[in-house]
Amino acid sequence: MVAIPTETVYGLAGWIFSEAGLNNIFSVKERPFFDPLIVHVDSLKRARELALEWTVVHDILATHCWPGPLTLIAKKHSKINPLITAGLESVALRCPNHPQTLKLLASIEGGLAAPSANKFGKTSPTTSFHVAEEFHNDVPILEGGECSIGIESTVVGITLLKNEYLVEIYRPGYFTARMISQILEENQIKASVQYAQSPVAPGQLQHHYMPRIPLVIVPENFNWDKDRLKVESALKKTFSQPKIWEQPKNAHLASRELYSRLRQFDQEGYDIILTAKLPTHSAEEWLGIWNRLHKAQSLTVEKDPAS
Ligand code: TXA
Ligand code: MG
């Protein structure tokens, strides 16, 4: 087992053909076995070898987006250990865009199964320092600098319907539905690309990515001095060190910083984090960020109907 850098977040990796390595990931992460892992490969060719079925949509998306922050679900080959897939008939495959990890992947057979390198349900790591802290220096780490994307890959499921493909996004990330539609359109593929309504992917739990201090989502005009009672009565606690967290204007910058800020505010001695959802955040490139913030929050304060 080794922690590996990727462009999204650090992963806690084990060789897909080592049952001991795979078991180790679940125990170190304290992750339940019903939550399947992503298999990381160095190429499209390797991905195909681990899938039983590989459609033209898999091929086009992998060709355009790999190495990169896109995970493709495919029917699994029998050589994939059921521990990786939580007993599902499908496997999640991704070729990460990071030079050291690609080199490591090329030097082994098959690939590396890796969830994010954090304790189950906690904030994902975007530096080797975060990983070391999370596991108290118990895990060897392949140093690879800071992750450039900062939130986990877009996870996509692909189904062939009567005369078109259904491409469902189970977890939003850097690649948006619009970007995926455009790639398929340019390649003359008839497909409907949509965000999955219900969390069909196991592991898509409501509470996830949580920092140690509460994160509260507030309306744009929220004023701590005036409105703090709403928060304190809902959380049944008083707070003395609030951090008013303004998101960077640019979504890609915001996603790069997201997890390290959540860790940083806690360490700086704040006891609560407040961040506002702005009208500009309804643009599609913010979906991944707000998906994580909603899961990491302890409370959302709704806008006052009177104001
Ligand atoms: O960017 C990423 O994807 C990072 C880096 C390390 O590659 N990995 C990551 O792994 O986020 P993890 O375990 O934290 O998230 C894996 C996600 C889960 O939400 C799980 O539901 C989904 O992938 N997944 C895995 N196998 C699946 C399957 N067969 N069908 C549907 N979803 C699956
Ligand atoms: Mg994770």
Cα(36) to centroid of ligand 1, in Å? 7
Task: Tell me which of 116, 151, 204 to substitute to probe ligand 1's pocket, judged by most ligand atoms within 8 Å of the beta carbon.
Answer: 116
> What are residue 206's phi and psi, to 5 degrees?
-65, -45
Cα separation, 92 vs 26, in Å, equals 17
Looking at residue 270, its amino acid is Y
Q: What is the pLDDT of residues 46-81, one digit of tens each?
A: 999 999 999 999 999 999 999 999 999 999 999 999
Ligand 1 pocket mutation pick from 104, 155, 209 by most atoms within 8 angstroms of CB: 155
Is the C-beta atom of 67 inside 6 A of ligand 1? no
β-sheet with 299-300: strand ranges across = 242-245, 272-276, 215-218, 299-300
Considering only CA atoms, which residue is closest to atom 30 of ligand 1? Answer: 201
Q: Tokens 């991944």 label which residue?
A: 288
202 band by pLDDT with thresholds 50, 70 and 90:
very low
Looking only at the bridges linking them, the beta strands covering 299-300 and 191-195 are: unpaired
CA pair distance 307, 297, nearest whole angstrom: 23
Three-state SS at 287: helix
C-beta of residue 69 within 8 angstroms of C-beta of residue 154:
yes
Q: Whose CA is nearest to atom 12 of ligand 1?
A: 115
Is the minimum distance from the CB of 150 to ligand 1 under 6 angstroms?
no
Which are the contacts of 245, defined by CB distance < 8 A and separation ≥ 6?
A: 261, 265, 273, 274, 275
292 vs 162, residue with greater confidence: 292
Please state the pTM of the whole predicted model: 0.96
Distance 277 CA to ligand 1 centre (A): 26
Average pLDDT value for residue range 37-51:
98
